[in-house]
Amino acid sequence: MRKLAFLSIVLALLCIETALGCQFENLRGSLLEFSNYVDNHPDYISSRDNGGRTPLHKAATCKRADAIAFLLESRPSIIDELDYSGASALHTSAENNCVDCVRFLLERSKDKNVCLSTFYSKNTPLHYAVKGENVEIIQMILTFCYRSIYKKNDDGETPLSIATAKDDPDISQIFNYLDVKLSDAFNKLKLPLDERMKLFGW
């Protein structure tokens, strides 16, 4: 119980520190201030800016896992919405190396195609995770949707080919460890994300 409370405090402090550098004014304050803003502007959650970004995209840009959780609790249907370039909040979170944001989004998403969607240069969230060399995000995305390992971007690169080219034993081990024959059966499992990760020993 104490450990959980400590982790909650650490997450809150990290969110506050991150918020200070956020480019979106209404995401610079505390979660309480943000929730009050949303309550006072009922159309905000469904709004989009000129680039088609939703508040969920903006929270992901600012690495505000607490704001993402709040927005999804308020309106779950916004989770897989894409901006005008085809990016989801998951793309943004993976590109920004925000582990907590990726976890929140994957745990609440019911559409595995969100991991297959592409935007700039046809990169998937897994492309960004591999390029960012974030092992934990790579594991989470592969656990959620294994098929994204083979998706090609405009340069003809798959997350697998990028990982193979990297001189990182941790990343190489992840991709070497997975058996292609497990993919179809694994994607049909109706288990929470953390339990699916345990099946692979992650």
Tell me: domain 11-199, CATH 1.25.40.20, correct? yes
Q: At residue 47, what are phi and psi to the nearest 5 degrees?
A: -80, 160
> Structural domain boundaries of the chain?
11-199
Report d(CA 165, CA 60) in Å as an integer: 28
Q: Give 22-28's long-range contacts (Cβ < 8 A, gap of 24+).
A: 22/61, 22/62, 22/64, 23/61, 23/62, 24/58, 24/61, 24/62, 27/58, 27/59, 27/62, 27/64, 27/67
Rounded Cα–Cα distance for residues 116 and 36 (Å) = 35
Contact 171, 133 (CB under 8 A): yes
Note the pLDDT of residue 65. 94
Which pLDDT score is estimated for 145?
A: 80
Using CA atoms, how far apart are residues 99 and 86, in angstroms rounded to an integer? 21
Q: What is the pLDDT of residue 115?
A: 81
The model's pTM is: 0.75
pLDDT score recorded for residue 4: 46
pLDDT value, residue 113: 77
pLDDT number for residue 198: 66
* Residue stretches of the chain with pLDDT short of 50: 3-4, 6-7, 9-21, 179-182, 185
